[in-house]
């Protein structure tokens, strides 16, 4: 009996419906830190694949808004947060993730997040009343 070709054997197998896994894309993190985040997203029930990178992106976009928008959001909230995500909750999630990963990876992630936090915590410009 002739041997069947491997391609014919594989064609007869049922296809596995695999969705492409969401890979976190966070600029400035090493591959070790990214793999820890992937493992954390797969093992924790409060995380979905891609949640950490989405939280970083949401926080980054939020802190780069004009200061008047940030103050308005602080006072009254934002109706778009219900559909697009709350950046303050995203920042809280990032704190939780930094506690759950190794110290080295947490240091890398903290370095990235601290740049955005520095923008968030900029002091108000001081106006000199004597110059008027």
Model-level pTM?
A: 0.69
Per residue in 84-131, pLDDT (tens digit) is: 778 888 999 999 999 999 999 999 999 999 998 888 775 544 444 444
CB 41 within 8 A of CB 47: yes
**CA 94/CA 115 separation, integer angstroms:** 14
State residue 56 phi and psi, 5-degree precision.
-65, -45
**CA 67/CA 76 separation, integer angstroms:** 14
Per residue in 6-65, pLDDT (tens digit) is: 777 777 777 655 555 556 678 899 999 999 999 999 999 889 888 999 999 999 988 887
Q: What is the secondary structure of 71-106 as a DSSP string?
A: HHHHHH--TTHHHH--HHHHHHHHHHHHHHS-HHHH
């Amino acid at each position: 009996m002739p041997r069947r070709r491997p391609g014919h054997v594989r064609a007869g197998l049922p296809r596995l419906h695999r969705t492409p896994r969401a890979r976190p894309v966070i600029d400035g993190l090493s591959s070790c830190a990214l793999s820890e985040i992937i493992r954390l997203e797969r093992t924790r029930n409060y995380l979905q694949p891609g949640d950490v990178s989405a939280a970083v992106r949401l926080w980054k976009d939020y802190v780069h808004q004009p200061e008047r928008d940030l103050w308005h959001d602080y006072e009254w909230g934002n109706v778009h947060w219900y559909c697009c995500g709350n950046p303050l909750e995203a920042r809280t999630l990032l704190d939780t993730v930094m506690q759950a990963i190794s110290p080295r990876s947490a240091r890398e992630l903290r370095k990235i997040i601290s740049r955005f936090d520095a923008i968030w915590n900029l002091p108000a410009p001081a106006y000199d009343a004597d110059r008027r």
